[in-house]
Structures are given as C-alpha cells and as structure tokens.
Structure 1
Amino acid sequence: MEKALRRICHFLMLLGGAGVVLMMLNVTIDVVLKAVWNTPIQGTIEISSYYYMIAIVMLPMALVELDDEHVVVDLVYNRLPGWLQRICLVVACAATTAILGVMTWRTGQDAIRAWRVGEVVMGSREVIVWPARVMLPLGFGLSMVAAGLRTVMAALGKPMTRAIHEATA
C-alpha cells in the first residue's frame, strides 16, 4: 500500500511543480504583454490565486506527510526514552490523521457545494473556480491516508520506506 500511495504522491508532487512553472510563465507573459502592448492576460490574478497556488500547496502535501518533512520542533522529544518517543509519535500521527479527516470532510462539502452552484469569481473577467475546490479534499484526504499509514507503522515500530532507503544509502 505504501508503494502505491508513494507513486500517487510523487505524481501529485509533479503536478504541483508544474503549477509553479505554469504560474511563472503565465505571470511573466502577462507582465510582458502589459508592458509592451498594454494588453494583459485577463484573469491572471484569479487563475494564479484559485488554481496555481492551491495546486502548489495542496497537491504535494501528502508526500510531505508521508516523508515526515513537516517543520517540527523536537526539543523535548529527542530527550525522551525510546518507548516514550514511540508513544508520542503514535499519538501525534493519530491526532494528525483525525484532524486531516475533518479537514477532508469539510473541504469536500465545500467542493460539492461549489460544483452544485457552478462557483465563479469575478475579477478582470469571470473565472470558473469550482474545479479548483477539489484539490483541497484531495490533498487533505491523501495526507490523511499518509498520516494513518505513519500511525500504523509507528505503532508497529517499523520505519517508513523512505527512512529505510536513507539508512541504507
């Protein structure tokens, strides 16, 4: 299961990276067109805000969770005995899984509502934004699965695949 999840997460990471490149190209072309011909690309701000930025943040989130790459402060944790570190890790991963589950459910409800009403945003032009709402429950949901997998692995005292590869490299 971890390998399949890892493949999906890597694919979403690539999509997030593509979002960075597309946003850069879109904004650069918009600036050049406005400066040279005074004809900016209509909707650049809205598309950047509602599509690119959401993709950049939400799509790679599951891989960040799976690889335990979130920012952590472990001043106390490193001083605890091994058995207590394991308990803390299991509790933290379980809490993370639960919180991500709630966020998945809530953003999923928002995505369904946005789809039903055909949500759009008005800026320099009308931009359809309801498809972008799907990225939130997708990112949170896969992160929840990753956190759940980390919870199980921590409870069993087994490292994740990435940790095994780093130890043998």
Structure 2
Amino acid sequence: MHHPEAQVSYPTAGFRHVDRVLIGLEHIAVWFGIAGLGGIMLLVSADTLGRYFFNAPLQFQYELTSHYLMGMTSLVALSWGVRRGAHIRISLIDDFLGPRLRGLLFGFNFLLAAAVMAVICFYSAMEALRSWSDAEVFFGVVDWPVWIAHIWVPIGCGLLTLRLVFDGVLVIVDPAHATLLRATADPVNEVDAV
C-alpha cells in the first residue's frame, strides 16, 4: 500500500502494531537487498579490474552473484515495494467506484494475490528444505550450497504474503485506505523510505 506511515490512520491499535512490525521487517529486508546489490557491484567491479589489469579474475564471482546475490536482491524487497507503491497497477475503473466498493475490490485483489504468493512461498520453502536435507551443492570453483540460493524465494514471498493479507484486510475493514492506493508513487521521494 502506498502510504507514508505518518499519513495513515488505522481502525484499531492492533492494525497499527501489526503494520509497524511489517514495516520493520520490510526495512530489514530492504537492507539485505541493498547489501546484496552493493555486493554485486563490488564483486563484478573487482572481477573486471582483476581480469583486465592483473590477469587474475575472481573465480567465484559469477556463481556467488548469479546464484545468491541476484536472487536475494530482487526478492527480499517485494513487500517493501508493494507498500511504497513501487509496482505496476492498472486503475481502469477506480474513478467509477465508490469508496466501499473500491475497498472491497482492492481487498479481494490483495487477498487473491496473497493466496498465490502463499502457495509460491510454501512450495519454494519445501524446495529449499529438500535442498538442505539432501546437501545439494552447485559445483564450481567453490561447491556452494543450493539451499542458500533457494531460501530467498520463501523469505521474499512470505513477507509479501503478510503485507498483502494485511493490506487486503485493512481496505475491507476501512475502505478509506483504498484511496491511499490510488495515489501515485512519488519517484523523487521514494528513496527516503529506507
């Protein structure tokens, strides 16, 4: 849900507490994503410099970047992106709906998306658990454990599921929050959310 936290009024204190916990988890996840992106930049730069100037590339860079850091960077901040409105949303009929109907429609859409994300979270967690129990590895210069690459999918999708359920219930209980979803994201001020 696109909302600066200061502008949100919640129907009950319970909603406010749950949202604060989710926001805290989302900020932690975003910092993991930022660290992953920074790691990618440093590793690729060091590999390039080593390869072209010293004829000594980082042999492990490709596996570490492609199997671990790219997945971590792209998946952990999904929930943060939804909360901040940094996603594509088609608003074809929003202007023609009343607040109550808009809240119900948005709530249904959020809960439907949450169900899909929950299924993805469950099956990807089972795959990560299987990889861990089978001690699977990526063969290369370093034998990297596969489960660490797989764990980012259930973490990112699980947090997104929680955000979607929370936002879905919130706009059903209090349709006024659906108007916050209609606000367009402000790309100039999006960076300050971290």
Aligned length: 163
**1:159 and 2:180 aligned:** no
Higher mean C-alpha displacement, 39-48 vs 151-160 = 151-160
- Structure 1 match to 2:60: 43
Deviation at 1:83, TM superposition (A): 2.6
Residue 72 of structure 2: SS of its match in structure 1? Answer: helix
Cα deviation 1:117-139 (Å, max 9, x = unaligned): 22221345432232121111111
Q: TM-score when scaled to structure 1?
A: 0.88
**1:14 and 2:18 aligned:** no
RMSD: 2.0
Q: In the aligned structure 1, how far is the partner of 2:143 from the partner of 2:122?
A: 28
Q: In the aligned structure 1, how far is the partner of 2:177 from the partner of 2:102?
A: 13
Q: In the aligned structure 1, how far is the partner of 2:77 from the partner of 2:161?
A: 13
Check conservation: 2:103, 2:177, Cα contact below 8 A: no
Residue 150 of structure 1: SS of its match in structure 2? Answer: helix
1:114 to 103, 118, 131: 131
Q: TM-score when scaled to structure 2?
A: 0.77
> Larger helix proportion, structure 1 or 2?
1
Q: In the aligned structure 2, how far is the partner of 1:117 from the partner of 1:81?
A: 53
2:71 to 45, 50, 54: 54
Check conservation: 1:43, 1:127, Cα contact below 8 A: no
> How high is the sequence identity, in percent, across the aligned residues?
22
Listed as ranges, the gaps of 5+ residues in structure 1 are 164-169
Q: Which amino acid aligns with 1:99?
A: V
Listed as ranges, the gaps of 5+ residues in structure 2 are 1-17, 182-194
- Structure 1 match to 2:160: 143
**1:74 and 2:91 aligned:** yes
